[in-house]
Amino acid sequence: MNLPLFGSQLIGFKTSRDNEEFIYGVDPTTGKELQPGFAIASHGEVDRAVLRAEGAFPVYSRMSGAMRGRFMRRIAEELEALGDQLIARVMQETGLPEARIVGERGRTCAQLRMFAEVAEEGSWVDARIDLAQPDRLPLPKPDIRRMLVALGPVAVFGASNFPLAFSVAGGDTASALAAGCPVVVKAHPSHPGTSELVGRAIVKAAVGEGMPDGVFSLVHGGADVGEWLVSHRGVKAVGFTGSLKAGRALADLAAQRAEPIPVFSEMGSVNPVVVLPGAMGDLEALASGYSASLLMGVGQFCTNPGVLIGVESEAFDQLVGKIAEKVAAAEPGIMLNQGICNGYLQGVSERGKHEAVEVKGMAVAAPGMASGVVFSTSGQDFMVDSSLQAELFGPAALVVRCSSAEELIEVVRDLEGQLTGTILMGDGDEELAGTVASALRDRVGRVIFNGYPTGVEVCDAMQHGGPYPATTDGRFTSVGRAAILRWARPVAWQGAPDWALPEELRDGNTRGIWRRVDAVLGRE
């Protein structure tokens, strides 16, 4: 039986509707509005959501990792229980195919269960203990114990391109809840129905597992609602996935607060792919691999490989020609919403008029749809004009033709911050590949060898973040277990009696977590 959609805010365990001004989901395949309308949150509703989160924080942050873990596992179960209704609504609001959405739901639930494990196991708090040395000369050493604790309520902004895995119950929410932070989510206006279904699943899980009222809230609206949320004194950190313009605006707003707070924005990245001479053995396979990665999901991935860099040669020219043929032969695709499509088409039009850019291949355009395109420029022109490094969010590639290996290295060193950098290499490329990898290390969050950046494994070692403008803080990741570290801060206890310490720092280590005692890692 399908759940009715109310189109209201979820303020803790209650629904709320102060306004009669609505936003609507739109089916991108038809352009038709979807019912019902979703009320835009009032300033008062945003305030109440954050106040509820503030009230929940002292209780939720001090709950055991086991209790938080059960809550997160229950969220995954409730998402799965939504069944076909959730899949159908996501398809309506995004135009994404069923198989993609089913896979994304699986990723979302697996991510929730992974962070449940992180909370339950507990070693993420990075406990460090320096035992007292009362007889040390010339001064005694005090007992000092340090660990990470939750920051406070977190504001999360849902992403347009991943309506489940980077949205209401996505990685930002999951990692924040695991850390002990209540979450207030601003739903993405492109998929409000999806957001409500997922939000209600979280609320149901919270009630069922005895979580404090306010551990989760969901609000709808536009830029004003987001600004109110980030400006609220009760919010202590922000998670965002989206455009450079919006992500930077939120970071600037947070920095101007009386109490500045961290904003973890994942923004623009062109994810350069560097092709070395030894990789040119099978040009057909190389062209197929690159074009498939470029065109995947109509290019609407933050890891889309938007720049291809190589040294001019007959083989490289042939490779570019084959890629251009494959892109030109691809069917136009429906983008997630009309705003994204319009932005892509405008960006393609402007780049096509650039005097230093040549169009090598373009698929036949269709009204309201996105066609793949391959542009080309020289290494020198790429370095002179920084606008050529701007992300075109969609299936667009820019080939950068370098006159020599030395210029190729210069181009790589001139890159802005990126999420990923890829090296395609073969036998005999080891020395040049080493130099390229060293240069990429200073520019990207993940260096990939002989693969493609689309596809981000959810695992302990993943780094999904990079230097600005890829993110606002390249020291952290938004994917993988380490994503929890964004929502915590260190606190030290000096000379505290055992009873006054958090369980993780007490003598005996009853939780059995990994700790550093006098700089030695162990479970004692």
Domain ranges of the chain: 30-126+154-265, 273-449
What is the band of 233 on the pLDDT scale with cuts at 50, 70, 90? Answer: very high
Q: Which of 52, 63, 54, 15 is nearest to 211 (CA)?
A: 63
Fold held by 273-449: Aldehyde Dehydrogenase; Chain A, domain 2 (3.40.309)
Per DSSP, 38 falls in state E
Average pLDDT for residues 378-399, to the nearest whole number? 97
What is the band of 1 on the pLDDT scale with cuts at 50, 70, 90? Answer: confident
Per DSSP, 503 falls in state G
Check residue 362 and give its pLDDT. Answer: 82
Average pLDDT for residues 506-518, to the nearest whole number? 97
Torsion of CA 477, 481, 485, 488, to 10 degrees: 140
Check residue 131 and give its pLDDT. Answer: 98
Q: Is the pLDDT of residue 333 over 90?
A: yes
pTM of the model: 0.96
What is the band of 368 on the pLDDT scale with cuts at 50, 70, 90? Answer: confident
CA-CA distance, 310 to 494, in Å (whole number)? 57
Q: Is the pLDDT of residue 164 over 90?
A: yes
* SS3 state at 257: coil
pLDDT tens digits, 95-147: 999 999 999 999 999 999 999 999 999 999 999 999 999 999 999 999 999 99
pLDDT tens digits, 168-178: 999 999 999 99
Assigned token pair, 133: 């040395």
What is the band of 57 on the pLDDT scale with cuts at 50, 70, 90? Answer: very high
Q: Which residues contact 271 (CB under 8 A, 6 or more apart)?
A: 303, 304, 305, 306, 307, 418, 419, 420, 421, 422, 453
List active site positions. Answer: 266, 302
Kindly indicate whether the domain formed by 30-126+154-265 is annotated with CATH number 3.20.20.80: no
Query: How big is the chain by its Cα radius of gyration, in Å?
Result: 25
Q: Is the pLDDT of residue 423 over 90?
A: yes
What is the band of 268 on the pLDDT scale with cuts at 50, 70, 90? Answer: confident
